[in-house]
Structure 1
Amino acid sequence: MNRALVFMIGSAAVLAAIFAFLVMSDSGRSRSTLSSEPLLMYCAASNRAVMESIRQDYEKEFHRSIEIQYGPSQTLLSSIEVTRTGDLYLPADDSYLKLGREKELIAETLPIASMRAVVAVRKDNPLAISRLDDLLDENVRLVQANPDTAAIGKVVRKTLTASGRWSDLDQATMAYRATVNEVANDVSVGAADAGIVYDAVLHTYTDLTYVKLPELDGTASDIAVGVLQTAKDSASALHFARYIAASDRGLVHYREHGFRVGAGDQWSDRPELSVFAGSMLRPAIEETITAFEKREGVNVTRVYNGCGNLVAQMKAGQRPDAYFACDSEFMDQVHDLFPEPVPVSQNELVILVPKGNPKGIRSLRDLTRPGLEIGIGHEKQCAMGWLTQNTFREGGVQESIMPNVKVQSPTGDMLVNQMQAGSLDAAVAYLSNAAGASESLDAIRITGLECSVATQPWAVAKESKYPQLAGRLFERICSAESQQVFAAEGFRWQELSSKASSDPVSDE
């Protein structure tokens, strides 16, 4: 064979091999950051069938072992508390996750689905059970799950205790079982005539059906998965948790198994979350976002700018997953994209002057003196500028001050830089802008004008592919550690009065 031809064929083979290696490396780049150690998950017995389907898909897709310990929700929680081991916990009712948080065992929770309390009977319902009184008949062999260890027993006891019917049902119960699956098994093999179970549990029992009792109407359990504080590799644990809660992965199986599920996030091996935030918020949130990226194993693209510019970008078609505005006015301008904003913090306008205040400036009125060179925010480009003009108008000094304004900047940081360079006598900016420049600048408070205070709202876009991921970032921003950073940067924290996003579990 011609040597040149052999060389060309050999070169092509080498290039093909290199290309294949690069493609494989790129596709597995985020996966390679995950630990190869198996994950240990504690899961309620009621979710066993669906979780086995999810585990099979996950292990096939990512070649990573998941070890799962099934049992009653309370028993599993007690085991976690005693052993202080494991990565994930999925109880049959999210009240156990709340208990876990109180015990500082749970770091994050991801909502998944819901299921309702019903009565399991044989397919043709031979005893014609239709209401609670039917279960009290001495000829009906009734079994339940232990209310001290199993979620179904706990929620049923709570509902019937409130209505005064629990004592009667307790006395009529032939036996208590450890798990809801054992209750269904008793009815299936004829060892019991009826058993109180979750509706979704009966998906795999073709010989059984269920009856909705009026007395149990509304008795349901919300299911969520929690990432344990003991997780050795949080990114790996959250990777599987996101898989379970993803609309096009785990929730597909949950729906097929008869659970009611919400929208969930779209699945991505390494999600790219985008956040628009006013420039003045950067010092307060940047470190929190960086830590969140590392813990979750995700990327957060943040765009810091004046809110006027950010709003213009969004109206031009750019769509971030979340928006943290410098003032409610600029959130209102994109309300159609972010319908549920939550007020987070407050920041106030101040007058910045050189250290020692050589010009003796004490109020807005002093900024009207002839010959002063003043810097303010640009009214169209940032919330700070818009708020400044409102404050000037309310203070009755707008026409007198504006002739002294030499600089209109899109961010407070730029004004601080010019103040430190000595090119301005004074600037009107946020207190947070002055926080990092206390050695060279003094801040004079603007008193008597409520309009000089800005409120910073956070919202998740209604079209976001990752509302749950954005919600967890918001939780981190609201953490005690984060609030301390906000305070150090000159912000006042708000009491959060509403959720950042709606309940993801639907009644479909």
Structure 2
Amino acid sequence: MLKKLIIVLCLSALVAVAWVALKPAKARSAQLTVFCAAGIKKPIEEIAAAYQKDTGVEVRLQFGGSGTLLSQLKIAKQGDLFIAADDGALADAKKLEVTREEFSLVVQKPVLAVAKGNPRHIDGLAALKSPEIKLALANPEAASIGRVVKKLLGADWDALAAKAAVMKPTVTEIAADLSLGAVDAAIVWDSIIPQFKLDVAPLPELDKHEERATAAVLSFSQQPAEALRFARYLTAPEKGGAIFQKQGFKAVPGDKWAARPDLIIYSGGVNRLAIEKLLQQFATREGITMTTVFNGCGILCASMKTMEDSSNPKFPDVYYACDVCFVPPVAEQFPEAVLLTEAEIVIAVPKGNPQGIHTLADLARPGLRVGLCNAEQSTIGFLTRSILKSMNLLESVSKNASSQVPTADFLVNQMRTGSLDAAVVYGINISNDKEHFEAIPLPADKSKAVQPFAVRKDSSYQQMGHRLLAFLRENRASFEAAGFAWKGETAPIKSADIVLPEWLKQK
């Protein structure tokens, strides 16, 4: 069935594919201001210094407890990045609407820290509650570690807080007290242990809990492209990731580093109406170039097949097909997809419907000039052929097919010149030209094409691809204005689980 569509197309067809590089405006040379949780001060300072050396951009750092920093941001509304130590602080920032794009940096766990060798033999909550043990805690109103531990320990937190020797606003301050011998124990992030040459004592109540430190671009940043560039540097395995690992942190791998990455997108032609301007906006904000190929999905899939595997540098990072039936042919590279939009398939006729066309069967009338898309090259062509075949109309209608082209846009242009009496197209192809066209509906069970968005599983820019998806989801109105029905809030589906209706399984 579909496998027969994935053929090696002639060279002329491939040459016709347009590669468009979307180049953002040149980034301004400016300082970046970063508000960072104190617990990850050491690696962030090193990464910022490396970034300045590599790019010439100065990074100004302000450290403190996540809660304290967030309070400052809420009032000042200035800066470029906020680095939160835990998921709760990030959630608070989102509620305040001060952040946008997010980049997971490291995974951290709360642990009970003691001096080297655990000289006081501290082995759990009971020992911590002993009057002889001096305990240091981080203030839950100011520091993420304090808030996380308070939630995990519940009533035990109240008992510990009541007898704590000190309670300070940052995790590094209580770790410093412990390393100097001012206290016997402190509850800190596990990443703090090697920095202050401490040991970990057992505290089962904390063992299974993890939090992510995350960098988020501030919604009021005046230089988002530069902020995003530094965020990508922070997460790049060969840049920030390597420094985090060196300093004992469990880094979350990000995209490979490039000062100006090139994101390659393959998109079915029907999607162009909604996404072309959005892609330019995304490229400008991210400070990247974007190579975009709009064409029939049969041509796109065939092009991917001719590359043999995704190691080819021109293999797309993102694939936005015209219908789910063109995902299974490339499911190995795109194993998961989000059903983003839906488009109706119709019969387009001139205003007034002079030929009196009301059904697909009418397209078989002798003498009609009918436009169909090529079934090997395009989604709508493949869907049209399958629909006609399921209704025993393929042979009779094909006799009237005076034009078979890769995309529906060509058919609409031919109708404008009077070369066709009718054409099977997407409704959105004619929705903005009601002065000249009318849409005749198809059978309800066969009139919908659903557009899936997928990011390649081994793309060097996976996170960027998912940020693009998030950006498109934020701009639902643009799709609906173009005539699409919105489906973008649905959960991702596995490409292998896509089940095609019987009428699409015909050979």
Aligned counterpart, 2:252: 262
Does residue 1:324 correspond to 2:320, yes or no?
yes
Does residue 1:367 correspond to 2:367, yes or no?
no
Aligned counterpart, 2:422: 426
Local SS of the residue matching 1:58: helix
Q: Aligned partners of 2:410 and 2:26: how far apart in 1?
A: 38
Which residue of the other structure, out of 173, 177, 200, is the alignment partner of 2:164?
173
Q: 1:500 to 1:48 in 2, by over 3 A?
A: farther
Aligned counterpart, 1:95: 88
1:159 is displaced (CA, Å) by 2.2
Does residue 1:142 correspond to 2:135, yes or no?
yes
1:281 is displaced (CA, Å) by 0.5
Aligned counterpart, 2:332: 336
Encode CA deviations 1:200-248: one digit per residue, 9 max, x unaligned: 1222212x11235221122221121111122111112112111111111
Q: Aligned partners of 2:354 and 2:391: how far apart in 1?
A: 24
Aligned counterpart, 1:37: 30
Aligned counterpart, 2:14: none
Aligned counterpart, 1:277: 267
Q: Aligned partners of 1:230 and 1:308: how far apart in 2?
A: 43
Determine if contact 1:292/1:473 at 8 Å carries over to the other structure.
yes
Tell me how large the CA RMSD over aligned residues is: 2.0
Q: Aligned partners of 2:231 and 2:477: how far apart in 1?
A: 29
Encode CA deviations 1:281-304: one digit per residue, 9 max, x unaligned: 011101011011111110010001
Q: 1:261 to 1:297 in 2, by over 3 A?
A: same
Q: Aligned partners of 2:363 and 2:121: how far apart in 1?
A: 85
Determine if contact 2:32/2:58 at 8 Å carries over to the other structure.
yes
Which residue of the other structure, out of 445, 454, 463, is the alignment partner of 2:441?
445
* Larger relative contact order (CA 8 Å, sep ≥ 6): 2
1:78 is displaced (CA, Å) by 1.1
1:70 is displaced (CA, Å) by 0.4
Aligned counterpart, 2:310: none
Q: Aligned partners of 1:160 and 1:399: how far apart in 2?
A: 73
Q: Please list, as runs of the form range in 1=range in 2, the aligned pairs for 1:100-499 lying within 5 A after superposition.
A: 100-161=93-154, 165-206=156-197, 208-317=198-307, 318-449=314-445, 451-479=446-474, 482-498=475-491
Aligned counterpart, 1:51: 44
Q: Please list, as runs of the form range in 1=range in 2, the aligned pairs for 1:493-508 lying within 5 A after superposition.
A: 493-498=486-491
Determine if contact 2:441/2:447 at 8 Å carries over to the other structure.
no
Range that drifts further, 75-84 or 256-265 = 256-265
Range that drifts further, 106-115 or 170-179 = 170-179
Determine if contact 2:338/2:488 at 8 Å carries over to the other structure.
no
Local SS of the residue matching 1:341: strand
Q: 1:376 to 1:465 in 2, by over 3 A?
A: same
Range that drifts further, 68-77 or 380-389 = 380-389
Q: 1:297 to 1:49 in 2, by over 3 A?
A: same
Q: 1:268 to 1:31 in 2, by over 3 A?
A: farther
Consecutive unaligned residues in structure 1, runs of 5 or more: 1-29, 502-508
Q: 1:254 to 1:498 in 2, by over 3 A?
A: farther
Q: 1:324 to 1:124 in 2, by over 3 A?
A: same
Aligned counterpart, 1:11: none
Instruction: State the TM-score, normalizing by the size of structure 2.
Output: 0.88
Report the residue type matching 2:146 in the other structure: G
Local SS of the residue matching 2:458: coil
Q: Aligned partners of 2:345 and 2:240: how far apart in 1?
A: 48
1:399 is displaced (CA, Å) by 3.7
Determine if contact 2:85/2:213 at 8 Å carries over to the other structure.
yes
Encode CA deviations 1:461-484: one digit per residue, 9 max, x unaligned: 1121111111111111111xx211
Q: Aligned partners of 1:282 and 1:32: how far apart in 2?
A: 22
Q: Please list, as runs of the form range in 1=range in 2, the aligned pairs for 1:69-84 lying within 5 A after superposition.
A: 69-84=62-77
Report the residue type matching 1:385 in the other structure: G
Report the residue type matching 1:467 in the other structure: Q
Determine if contact 1:460/1:500 at 8 Å carries over to the other structure.
no
1:102 is displaced (CA, Å) by 2.6
Aligned counterpart, 1:14: none
Determine if contact 2:235/2:253 at 8 Å carries over to the other structure.
no
Q: Aligned partners of 2:119 and 2:441: how far apart in 1?
A: 78
Aligned counterpart, 1:21: none
Determine if contact 1:73/1:96 at 8 Å carries over to the other structure.
yes
Q: 1:443 to 1:202 in 2, by over 3 A?
A: same
Q: 1:32 to 1:470 in 2, by over 3 A?
A: closer
Local SS of the residue matching 1:187: helix
Report the residue type matching 1:447 in the other structure: P
Q: Aligned partners of 1:94 and 1:495: how far apart in 2?
A: 25
Determine if contact 2:24/2:283 at 8 Å carries over to the other structure.
no
Local SS of the residue matching 1:333: helix
Report the residue type matching 1:354 in the other structure: P
Determine if contact 1:155/1:219 at 8 Å carries over to the other structure.
no
Report the residue type matching 1:275 in the other structure: I
Q: 1:229 to 1:200 in 2, by over 3 A?
A: same
1:82 is displaced (CA, Å) by 0.2
Determine if contact 1:344/1:493 at 8 Å carries over to the other structure.
yes
Report the residue type matching 2:200 in the other structure: Y
1:437 is displaced (CA, Å) by 3.0
Local SS of the residue matching 2:89: helix
Q: Aligned partners of 1:50 and 1:92: how far apart in 2?
A: 13
Q: Aligned partners of 2:204 and 2:376: how far apart in 1?
A: 58
Q: How many residues align?
A: 466
Q: Aligned partners of 2:348 and 2:269: how far apart in 1?
A: 18
Determine if contact 1:93/1:223 at 8 Å carries over to the other structure.
yes
Q: 1:59 to 1:448 in 2, by over 3 A?
A: closer
Determine if contact 1:471/1:500 at 8 Å carries over to the other structure.
no
Local SS of the residue matching 1:140: coil
1:251 is displaced (CA, Å) by 0.8
Q: 1:131 to 1:393 in 2, by over 3 A?
A: farther
Report the residue type matching 1:465 in the other structure: S
Q: Aligned partners of 1:402 and 1:269: how far apart in 2?
A: 52
Q: What's the % identity of the aligned pairs? A: 39
Encode CA deviations 1:145-174: one digit per residue, 9 max, x unaligned: 11122111112222233xx64444444433
Q: 1:381 to 1:32 in 2, by over 3 A?
A: closer
Range that drifts further, 319-328 or 124-133 = 124-133
Determine if contact 1:274/1:301 at 8 Å carries over to the other structure.
yes
Determine if contact 2:136/2:174 at 8 Å carries over to the other structure.
yes
Q: Aligned partners of 2:373 and 2:463: how far apart in 1?
A: 34
